[in-house]
Amino acid sequence: MPNQHGAWAMLATPLAVGILASGPAWVHVPLTGFWFAGYFAFFATGLWLKARRRPRYLPPVRAYAVLAAVLGALTLALDPGLLRWAPLFVVPLGVGLVASARRDDRSLWSGLATSAGSSLMVLVAYDAGGGTDWARAWTLTAVVAAYFAGTVLYVKTMIRERGDERFHWLSAIAHGAATVAMTWVDPWLVVVFALLTVRAAVLPAYRLSPKVVGIGEVVATVVVATTALVVV
């Protein structure tokens, strides 16, 4: 099972936003199972690649791949049109697997690609629920993607890249740019992202434990997702 706690938020949040924005439907049940099983297969494959394809890492790859295939087939049986979203995930998936093969899966470029791919699930879940306001769907996707991209940078400044001023400035600037972008969406999102920018600029000066950082991310994720659903 994935041992990166942030991955769970990146899995659940876009899916939940898409479902809540369009309204729940029966196809969301196998779609949710497919989404999680697919990520488990991706994670297990990454470990297998990092381990130079050692045979003992293959059983979970096979198990999750089969489970994902079954759930994916059931999802498409209920809504074949969802297959049109598959090409959007090719690049993020490929980047993530290449990064694992190079043992560079904790890199910035890998994290950003993975978060972008995760954010696209808003669109799939929205389509599965029969949503028709695509301007809203794409806006929600952009908000989620902007937040998760900032999260990748922020978490690195707090843990793996703590003390690196380059990452600190990059994180603060990226959050500031996202805040400016929210002026085209809604004032409340401007407020939320402005607070995230302050957090990105100030908190790296403090030595917070990964647990505290994680709890803060859970709260921030809920606030961003809830605000976006209400105002967009």
**Structural domain that includes position 186:** 133-232
**111 and 143 housed in the same domain:** no
**123 and 14 housed in the same domain:** yes
pLDDT in tens, 78-131: 999 999 999 999 999 999 899 888 888 788 888 899 999 999 999 999 999 999
pTM score above 0.75? yes
Over 11-44, what HEC string results? HHHHHHHHHHHHCCCCCHHHHHHHHHHHHHHHHH
**158 and 179 housed in the same domain:** yes
pLDDT in tens, 31-77: 999 999 999 999 999 989 988 888 888 999 999 999 999 999 999 99
**50 and 153 housed in the same domain:** no
- DSSP one-letter code for 104: -
Which of 9-13, 123-127, 219-223 has the lowest average pLDDT? Answer: 9-13
Total domains present in the chain: 2
Q: Where are the beta strands (DSSP E) in the chain?
A: none
